[in-house]
Structure 1
Amino acid sequence: MSVHDKDKTGKTRIRCSTARESGSCGHGRLYYLEAIETLVLDGLREELDGRTE
């Protein structure tokens, strides 16, 4: 994943770096960096707390 751009509100968007650089990846969907960070941190918290859902 790599930074693609910022939207009108200034939020950073990311996407597959292969799709961006060479076009050889068909997954060019954009994701908000903040949303990805939240998912990762929530998952880490769950793992560290010993919870399994």
Structure 2
Amino acid sequence: MAHPHHWLIRFTDELMTLTSDLTQEQAAAFVRRVYLAGHEAGVAESAEENRRARE
């Protein structure tokens, strides 16, 4: 089974290869914020699509 935080580790590592001025903690915090924002946007978009489908 994959580690539950695999996506966080993977994208944190990728971000750190692109920048030289971030600590691991800063990179992980950024990745978490982006992930959560994307998730919230997806939930809102899905709710809007469901609302439109019911009209």
TM-score using structure 2 length: 0.41
Considering only CA atoms, is the larger Rg found in Structure 1 or Structure 2? 2
TM-score using structure 1 length: 0.43
Q: Which structure shows the higher strand fraction? A: 1
